[in-house]
Amino acid sequence: MTAPVAAEPPRNIVLILADDFDRADTTLHGKTSLYETPNIERLDAHGMTFSCAFESPIISPTRASIMIGQNSARYGMTVQVAHLEVER
């Protein structure tokens, strides 16, 4: 007979998706005089960091890539899904 195994608490996932954000924009990968990011450092210290993800510079292909797990060039979405007309 085996001993009962204690159930692990559910894990949380934090996805930070930001415009014009680079590895150099936090203090995780070295010191910077431009920013202080203690909360991101704390998340990194108590969890796991996925540090190599690059996607499209526009949001529609990026969102789709997150949902389907493929690069935007692979599934053919390289432009914004909906274009809004600019009033002139």
The residue ranking higher by pLDDT, 1 or 20, is 20
Share of the chain above pLDDT 90, in %: 0
Residues 62-69: what's their mean pLDDT?
A: 85
Residue spans per domain, the chain: 22-52, 55-88
The residue ranking higher by pLDDT, 57 or 62, is 62
Residues 1-5: what's their mean pLDDT?
A: 67
Distance of CA 64 to the CA centre of its chain: 13
Contact 62, 48 (CB under 8 A): no
Query: Tens digit of pLDDT for each residue in 23-54?
Result: 777 888 777 777 788 888 898 888 887 766 66
Residues 16-23: what's their mean pLDDT?
A: 74
- Give residue 52's region: left, alpha or beta (phi > 0; psi -120 to 50): beta
